[in-house]
Structure formats: C-alpha cells, structure tokens
Chain A
Amino acid sequence: MGDLVNIFIKSAFIENLALAYFLGMCSYLAVSKTVKTAFGLGLAVIFVLGITMPINWVINTWLLGENGVFQTDLTFLRFILFIAVIASMVQLVEMVVEKYSPSLYNSLGIFLPLITVNCAILGGSLFMVSKEYNFSEAVAFGLGGGFGWFLAIIAIAAIREKIKYSAVPPAMRGLGMAFLLTGMMGMAFMGLMGIDPASFK
C-alpha cells in the first residue's frame, strides 16, 4: 500500500504531468481563462486518466505482450490500440454522463471530446509502459497524474483571472503571459524534485 501512495504522490507532485513534463499543454493553455471551466476540465481529466490507464495496461500486457493471448510481440500496434481505447472511452464517458448527470454534462460538455487529443492521457499511458508498472501501480499512477494535472490547471486559471487587471504590455497579453506564468510555475514545481517519496511510508 505504501508503494502505491508513493506513486500517487510522485506522479501528482514530483513528476507532475503538466508542470514537470508539460503534457496536455494545448488544452491547459486554451481552457485556463476562468477557474470554473478549468475545474470542469480538470475533473474530466482525472476521470479519463483513471479509467484508461488500467484498460491500456490490460491491453498492453495481455493482448500485445509476448506472454499475452497471441504469444507474439505485437507492440507495434500499441499506438493505434491506445488511442482507440482513449477515443472510445471518452465517447462512452460522454454518453454515460449525458444520461445520468445532465448538469455535469452541461458543465463538462465541450471539454470531454477535447480530452481525446490531450497528450497527458496518451502520454500517461506511454509513461506507464516505459516505467513497467504493474496493474495497481498503473491505477495509482493514473489517478495521481490526473490529480496533479487538475491542481496545475486550477492554479494557473486562478492566476490568470487576477492578472487580467494588471498592466501587461499589449503584445504580451493573454497567451504570452500564460506561457511565462507556466514557466514560473514549472520552476516552482522543480523545487519538489528534492522530495524523497520513500519518506512518506
């Protein structure tokens, strides 16, 4: 159990998908203008990462691996299967949410399809493969990564809401400032790299 908590903390803070690897930057920069929308997108990312990570783990190990169903190395199909799983999961989540929670659907609505092309999701799955996690570790990594991304987008949205009232040079307004802020937040998060996750046991 302690190992899983380590992986969660590590993937949420020390190896934050948004601020340490800069994954999912497109939607991160595009949807962080207000805290409300950022909150919705962040929740959706946690959700989709938490679901797709175990499914992709199962596919990678049992279908594509050498000890899987086909007894051959099919890893060259990894990209196609991973992205198909992500796209269909997002579609499925969208339908379920629409049926059972229309209010959540209305607030998430536009962001759900965006998540398909959020590199944090595919990147998370590819990192999981390259780090050779087992099943429960993959789940912890998915949830932790999603939580870290959620925190990052909320933080920058809050800063951007405030900075609207500052006197920024016209050419730097909006996008330029968002880049600068993200860079500084990335530097701040690098301070967490010194943490030894083993001490949380």
Chain B
Amino acid sequence: MADVAVVEKKEAIKFGKKERKLLTDPLDDNNPITVQVLGICSALAVTTGLKNATVMAVAVVFVCVFANTITSALRKSIPKQVRMIVQLVIIATLVTVVELTLKAYAFESYKQLSVFIGLIITNCIVMGRLEAFAMANRPYESSLDGLGNGIGYGIILLIVAFFREFFGKGEIFGAKIIGATPDYMINTAESAWLGWYQYNNLMVLFPSAMFVIAVLIWAHRAWNPKLVDVS
C-alpha cells in the first residue's frame, strides 16, 4: 500500500495519451449504452424530444463527474462493507442538487422529466463507474472517466432523441422541419415542400426507443467487429 502511495505522488497531473483514452474510450469501444448496457431506463424514457434529452444528458454528465471525483477523493476512508450506501448517498445528494436547480431555473423541463431526474440515482452508469473506476484511481483520472462516460451516454441519448423527434413529430428542438402544419397559409406557400410527410406516431411511444437503440447497436457492432457477442 505504501509503495502505491509513493508512486501516486510522483505522477504529475498531465493530459497525455492515457488520459485521452479515458475520455475517448467510452465514446466507442466502451460506450455505456451500446456496449456496457448501463443506464438504459432513462435513455428510453426521456428521448421523445431533443430538449429533454439535452437536459438529461447535461444532468448525467454533471452527476457522473462530481460523483466520480468525490468518491475517488474519499476512497481510502470508505469502509468496504458500507461502500454501496456511501456511494448512493453521494449520488443522491448530487441528484437532489440537480433536481432543485431544474425546479428553480427550468420548471418546464422539470415537470416533463418528473421521476426520471430522481432515477439518475439508480442510473447504473454512475454507480458502475464508481465501483469500477473511482474506487481505485485518483480524483483527476476519475473526473476524466466520469466526463467521458457522461458524454458517451449523452451522445447516444441525443442520437436516439433526434430520430424519435424528427420522425415522430417532424421537429428538431421544437422547430418544425417536415410535415404539414395546421397553419393554412404556411401549407400553401413553397415552405410546404415536405408537407406530404405523415408523422409516425410509433416513434413517440416507448417501444420505438428500443428499436432505435437496437439498430444503433447493430450499426456500431457491424462497424466495430471486435464488439460482436460471441456467446
């Protein structure tokens, strides 16, 4: 144990190849959603629109980074038997901060996301990274790992939300792109060039998130064959 501590002190805080790998690995080879299968629940529920997905992604990045850093700073004083509860309390505190912030400054999003903000606590990404990384590494590396995983999760969230909102409602961030508008004047103008599009209501419903993620996994694995499930 003493040797490890000495080695740790020698290593300066830098941003080299190893650190970059911590950031980029979760984006591809070790993506939280398509490879590690963590944090699916919220990915499905909040992706009906890009706006909610963005709020959720930012919230998860915040919780991931700070939970990883705090746990890593405390890792030597957390007893092994009660570490789950300590970790959960740290996460729950951070999530409460997020919830109260949203309630104060973005009440609209807060109401739409409802219980799913609270469910960040049980989002397995946060917990999984605490167990797998933060309990064994320094705060600096842990914060990078948290950032990488949070972004890896957020990207998938935004991709899924883009497809669901675009094909389900014909909108991107709430702005109409394709499909007929109820406004007669706009439909008769040349801006109605995509007015033939009939909204696919299935895309707004929950099961479509499953289909979109399934196709994403398919594409990801076809492009990166070493991820293919051999069992």
Q: Please list the residues of chain A having a beta carbon within 8 angstroms of any beta carbon in chain B.
A: 20-26, 29-30, 76-80, 83-84, 87-88, 113, 116-119, 121-123, 126-127, 130, 169-177, 179-180, 182-184, 186-187, 190
A164 vs chain B, min Cβ distance (A): 9
A181 vs chain B, min Cβ distance (A): 9
A-B contact count (CB 8 A): 132
Q: Which residue of A lies closest to B227 (CB)?
A: A171
Chain B residues closer than 8 Å to A126, beta-carbon distance: 115, 118-119
B45's partner among A22, A117, A118 (CB-CB below 8 A) is A22
B229/A183 in contact, CB under 8 A: no
Q: Which residue of B lies closest to A126 (CB)?
A: B115
A117/B118 in contact, CB under 8 A: no
A87/B85 in contact, CB under 8 A: yes
B99's partner among A24, A79, A173, A177 (CB-CB below 8 A) is A79
| Chain B contacts with A in 11-50, Cβ cutoff 8 A | 34, 37-42, 44-45
Complex: how many Å from CA A71 to CA B53? 37
Chain A residues closer than 8 Å to B214, beta-carbon distance: 172, 176-177, 179-180, 183
Chain B residues closer than 8 Å to A22, beta-carbon distance: 40-41, 44-45, 206, 209-210
A-facing mask of B75-96, CB < 8 A → 1, else 0?
Answer: 0000000001100110111011
Q: Which residue of A lies closest to B208 (CB)?
A: A183
A176/B121 in contact, CB under 8 A: no
- Chain A to chain B contacts (Cβ below 8 Å), 23 pairs: A21-B45, A21-B206, A25-B40, A25-B41, A26-B40, A77-B96, A79-B95, A80-B89, A84-B85, A84-B92, A119-B42, A122-B118, A122-B119, A123-B115, A123-B122, A130-B114, A171-B225, A172-B218, A174-B229, A177-B214, A179-B213, A179-B214, A186-B207
Complex: how many Å from CA A128 to CA B221? 39
A80/B92 in contact, CB under 8 A: yes
Does B211 touch A at the CB level, under 8 Å?
yes
A79's partner among B39, B121, B123 (CB-CB below 8 A) is B121
| Chain B contacts with A in 167-186, Cβ cutoff 8 A | none
A76-B100, A79-B118, A171-B221 given as contacts; is B210 within 8 A of A26 (CB)? Answer: no
B41's partner among A20, A24, A130, A186 (CB-CB below 8 A) is A24
B38/A26 in contact, CB under 8 A: yes
